[in-house]
Chain A
């Protein structure tokens, strides 16, 4: 009997040679465009649409457009880009004193740089948190002035993109801790606390932001005692903050539900207090679980700041509308709204792509 035992005959003696990866099957371009009747039809329809609209758009936006000059240069059949060239500073900075415009510009630049600095998850440290807190304080001081020889500028003169940025950052900075408190309250074992958190969250989420802005603009001054005056910006900020807090709380609740009960029990077993367990063990994991969703909420908040137009605040969109009222120009509405939309798009699209990137990268840290 010199043949090997049966079982051994099936065992590989050597590792099998690695095979080349299968060639990715690529459909040639002409086939995706004209492969079958449906594709050809769609391609031809798209081409027809392009041929119909393309020349009109080119003629409107390029050939017949007025690129420079005064208001009289516009008014023909083309786009009025000259208006944007002349009004862009006003749309971006509103009625902030022109010789002081470096201040809002510096503030926006500071937040852009700080946001870029914060992108890689390895920088999500305590230092970054302090940097953001410092930046918020510096931003408010820079805008309002009155210190270090800066001319004081009242909030009624703030306008344009800086107001949009400031409203976003401040409503997030104040709304996030509130949102954490509401989310924890909603999951609390104390019924009184739980029901109050639920009531606040559902009340705010059940109302349109327009109504909340109304309440802040019309009712808030009535509710405060004589002598206490909140300016327009503070009232709009209060509305946006409450709104952000309620929505962030719901996102965070999802994150809290994703943290196993064993984590909190482990913390208690180690002798940590409830607060220490929550702060050191539960919250970091809960936040880590929902970072992409939180980032998408930021997009919603950026878009929502545009509603302050309705309570007479001077954000990017209102500044665009104010620029349009200049009687020296024929009022190129579509170009202006397109420009404003483009700025919002650049901000929001970058944030949502970042969220997508976060979502797709391998799970990080304690979550997973």
Chain B
């Protein structure tokens, strides 16, 4: 139908409102742009006055600040740009560790809170209340002081199970090590990791698509096994051992790392647990009854019927919780674990390039948030109710 507007009071009013709205928006945008320009001009003037040249050149200069521990190799004479990469790797390592561990622990906590055993449910509820109602930064400081002051010194390190030592200088665990020439060992690790990644992502897909990924995972593992057999590698657990004043070998975690991991895992597992519990409780009770009346056990019903449906409610809040984990790793500053914000703070105090360093930090975290949101949308589509 053709709706031609004819002139008249109503149309006049409509167009007046339209004009007013357009004018309003132009004014608001102009004000925002003017404000941003004003701030930028002030910043430029202030930087000029302090003799700080704006630009990214500082990234290729050496920073001369120490990074006490890192996954990537680093020395104080490396460039600041590389220091940022090292800090980012530390942030990501800590985030992945916390996401994995807090999901496992959070799931256990959710089941414990739903338990019919009064003692278990009560204890879990108390833990949730205490951890949720105190600031995470206080918790981190508490765990850090517990690790550095509460644990005995290195000669009297606690030794709860074989190969594990707890002391005020850090936590020592046995390391899983593959022996042999460097290149094949790396290839084997790569194959094992790729296989695990593929198999892991297969478990969240529908059966039809799952098969391809599972074949790929099997292929990766087969290649790893082939290299293993042809080169003749061997694997062993290397427990740390005390020699004079220090532990040698094994996996050594600094007190900062241990306190960060412990504190953040506990803190976020409480939130993950409550999200999972909420998701499970959002599934109608009839689903439980249907499963049980079909002769499934409670754990089978949970695994086959309840959890797949609960995932729909769980995924969005869980994703934002995971983003929170990445954001919370910036609290590493307070215990001295060198994450990316530590590197940024060091670089700022070393070079004075505050604007650029803050821009890098912002870009990194916004990128991580965007990627996580995109990942969540994909998952959401996978788990959405098939509509007919």
Contact = CB atoms under 8 A, between A and B. Distances in A.
A341 interface: yes
A352 B133 CA distance: 8
Indicate the size class of the contact surface on chain B.
Answer: 35 or more
Nearest to B36: A223
Nearest to A351: B133
A345 B354 contact: no
A106 interface: no
A348 interface: yes
A209 B365 CA distance: 11
Contacts of A221: 46
Interface string A183-215: 000000111110010000001011111110011
Indicate the size class of the contact surface on chain A.
Answer: 35 or more
Interface stretch (A38-46, A126-134, A143-151, A232-240): A38-46
B39 interface: yes
B28 interface: yes
Contacts of A33: 118-119
A299 interface: yes
Given A193-B28, A210-B331, A303 B135 contact: yes
B321 interface: no
Contacts of B130: 345
Contacts of B46: 221-223, 226
A101 to B, nearest CB: 23
Interface in B276-328: 323, 327-328
A321 B145 CA distance: 12
Interface string B321-342: 0010001101101100000010
A310 B328 CA distance: 13
Name the residue among B45, B123, B361 with the largest chain A CB count within 10 angstroms. B361
Contacts of B348: 218
Nearest to A344: B134
A194 B323 CA distance: 24
A222 B145 contact: no
B24 A219 contact: no
A95 interface: no
B354 A348 contact: no
A348 B134 contact: yes
Contacts of B119: 32-33, 39, 42-43, 46
Contacts of A211: 330, 341, 358, 361-362, 365
A309 B334 contact: yes
B120 A42 contact: yes
B333 to A, nearest CB: 6
B144 to A, nearest CB: 8
Contacts, number: 143
Interface string B148-183: 011000000000000000000000000000000000
B358 A214 contact: yes
A344 B142 CA distance: 14
A189 B21 CA distance: 9
Contacts of A39: 117, 119
Contacts of A215: 358
Interface stretch (A4-12, A115-123, A277-285, A331-339): A331-339
Given A32-B117, A193-B25, A222-B354, A206 B369 contact: yes
A223 B133 contact: no
A307 B327 CA distance: 13
Contacts of A38: 117
A334 B133 contact: no
A351 B119 CA distance: 26
Contact of A344 (B49, B120, B135, B362): B135
Contact of A341 (B32, B134, B149): B134
B149 A333 contact: yes
A224 interface: yes
Interface string A325-368: 00000000110011011001100110010000000000000000
Name the residue among A191, A205, A341 with the largest chain B CB count within 10 angstroms. A341
A218 B347 CA distance: 13
21 contacts: A32-B117, A42-B120, A46-B123, A192-B25, A196-B32, A203-B366, A207-B362, A208-B328, A211-B341, A211-B361, A214-B341, A219-B354, A221-B46, A222-B42, A222-B43, A302-B135, A303-B135, A306-B137, A310-B333, A333-B141, A337-B145
Given A211-B362, A317-B137, 10 more contacts: A32-B118, A33-B118, A193-B25, A196-B29, A207-B362, A209-B327, A306-B135, A333-B142, A337-B145, A345-B133
In the A-B complex, the 3 residue pairs with the smallest Cβ-Cβ separation, listed nearest first, are A333-B145, A192-B25, A208-B327
Interface of B: 21, 24-26, 28-29, 32, 39, 42-43, 45-47, 49, 117-120, 123, 129-130, 132-139, 141-142, 145-146, 149-150, 323, 327-328, 330-331, 333-334, 341, 344-345, 348, 354-355, 358, 361-362, 365-366, 369-370
